[in-house]
């Protein structure tokens, strides 16, 4: 009993680290750029499938693959914001109008990316095993890959927090999120900051995708579930709050671990139930508009 309780907690932590990372990317894109990017999960799956192919075909280790998958997706995100979302921003009458339109466009991107992936990788499950030597923690055994994934996810989140908090670009991002007009008057290039934010969000999705592929089998059509997870975590943890995302991520990871323990077939029902409950209980309230440094 105690062992399975510990197992649930540790599994929850491992899931939670990944969830937090997924959420930080989304909250950056929505918190600063006001783009509620529902194709976020698609970016994650794209990175995961690319990692899978790199590993199985060329033998490049996933942890090495991070070094170029994340930057590549950063560029994709940067360009997307510079072209599509910048255009939308220019032609929308107000912020609500922009939010609605950008949500529809990102649903369009979801269909585009998902079906490009289905065309290249097919609909089946794709998986590989790497670093799966068992590690014993408090009487339960876990694959080394999962532990490494947790460590990388938490390190990346903390590193990202330090980046937002202390670097020049990080300060510009916070300024642009808090008072876009004032930031612009003080010489922040808003367009570039927004593009950087969207790029960073996509880059974090890339990192999360690599880690995801190390832990689970991947299916091209299941990106939307990751997006739903990210939205739940962001609403629970607070928009743009990185510690909040970590907290929300671990909380959701724990809940999902409990559900999986009781009946794994209920996990999808649980996802969507939590999703709409969270939207109901905390509509807009917790979605402030700031990128905090806490």
Q: Are 245 and 292 in contact (CB under 8 A)?
A: no
Number of residues this chain uses to bind another protein (CB under 8 A): 39
Q: What minimum distance in Å lies between the beta carbon of 186 and another protein? A: 29
Of residues 26-85, which lie at the interface with another protein (CB under 8 A)?
36, 84
Q: Which of 2, 119, 129, 181 is close enough to bind another protein by CB under 8 A?
A: 119
What is the pattern of x (binds another protein, CB under 8 A) and - over residues 169-208?
----------------------------------------
Tell me which residues in 243-282 interact with another protein (CB under 8 A).
Answer: 265-266, 268-269, 271-273, 275-276, 279-280
- Find the binder of another protein among 67, 116, 138, 182 (CB under 8 A): 116
**Is residue 14 packed enough to be buried (19+ CB in 10 Å), middle (13-18) or exposed (0-12)?**
buried
- Binding-site member from 67, 134, 283, 294 for another protein (CB under 8 A): 283
Contacting another protein within 204-233 (CB under 8 A) = 228, 231
Q: In whole angstroms, give the CA distance from residue 155 to residue 128.
A: 24
Q: Which residues contact 7 (CB under 8 A, 6 or more apart)?
A: 140, 261
* Minimum separation from the CB atom of position 219 to another protein (A): 14
Identify the residue among 104, 158, 162, 186 touching another protein (CB under 8 A).
104
Minimum Å gap between C-beta 51 and another protein is 22
Nearer to another protein, 78 or 121 (CB): 121
CB neighbourhood size of 274 (10 A): 19
Tell me the two tokens of residue 53.
């192919």
Closer CB to another protein, 35 or 149, in the complex: 35
Please give the structure tokens belonging to residue 238.
């607070």
111 contacts another protein (rule: CB under 8 A): yes
| Buried/exposed 126-163: b ≥16 CB within 10 Å, e otherwise | beeeebeeeeeeeebebbebbbbbbebbbebbeebbee
Helices (H), the chain: 2-33, 40-53, 62-80, 86-91, 95-121, 144-166, 168-178, 180-185, 190-215, 223-237, 242-262, 267-281
Q: Supply the angle between the helices 267-281 and 242-262 in degrees, to the nearest 10.
A: 140
59 Ramachandran zone, left/alpha/beta (phi>0; psi -120 to 50): left
Q: How far is the CB of 3 from another protein (least distance, A)?
A: 27
Q: Which two tokens stand for residue 68?
A: 């170029």
In angstroms, what is the minimal distance from the CB of 30 to another protein? Answer: 9
Judged by beta carbon, residue 7 or residue 81, the one nearer another protein is 81
Residues within the interface to another protein (CB under 8 A): 36, 84, 87-88, 91, 96, 99-101, 103-105, 107-116, 118-119, 228, 231, 265-266, 268-269, 271-273, 275-276, 279-280, 283-284
């Amino acid at each position: 009993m105690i062992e399975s309780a510990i197992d649930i907690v540790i599994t929850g932590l491992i899931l939670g680290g990944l969830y937090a990372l997924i959420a930080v990317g989304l909250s950056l894109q929505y918190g600063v750029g006001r783009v509620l990017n529902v194709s976020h999960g698609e970016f994650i799956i794209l990175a995961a499938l690319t990692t899978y192919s790199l590993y199985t075909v060329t033998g490049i280790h996933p942890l090495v693959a991070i070094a170029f998958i994340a930057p590549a997706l950063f560029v994709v995100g940067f360009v997307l914001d510079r072209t599509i979302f910048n255009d939308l921003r220019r032609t929308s009458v107000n912020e609500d109008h922009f939010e609605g339109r950008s949500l529809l466009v990102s649903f369009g991107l979801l269909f585009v990316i998902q079906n490009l992936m289905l065309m290249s990788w097919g609909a089946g499950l794709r998986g590989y095993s790497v670093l799966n030597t068992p590690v014993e923690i408090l009487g339960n055994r876990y694959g080394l890959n999962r532990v490494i994934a947790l460590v990388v996810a938490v390190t990346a989140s903390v590193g990202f927090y330090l980046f937002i908090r202390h670097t020049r670009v990080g300060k510009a991002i916070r300024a642009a999120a808090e008072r876009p007009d004032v930031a612009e008057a003080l010489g922040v290039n808003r367009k570039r900051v927004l593009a950087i934010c969207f790029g960073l969000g996509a880059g974090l999705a890339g990192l999360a995708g690599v880690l995801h592929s190390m832990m689970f089998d991947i299916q091209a059509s299941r990106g939307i579930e990751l997006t739903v997870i990210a939205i739940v975590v962001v609403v629970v943890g607070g928009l743009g709050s990185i510690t909040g995302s970590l907290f929300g991520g671990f909380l959701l990871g724990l809940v999902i671990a409990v559900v999986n323990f009781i009946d794994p077939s209920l996990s999808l029902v649980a996802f969507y139930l939590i999703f709409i409950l969270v939207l109901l209980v905390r509509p807009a309230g917790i979605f402030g508009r700031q990128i905090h440094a806490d």
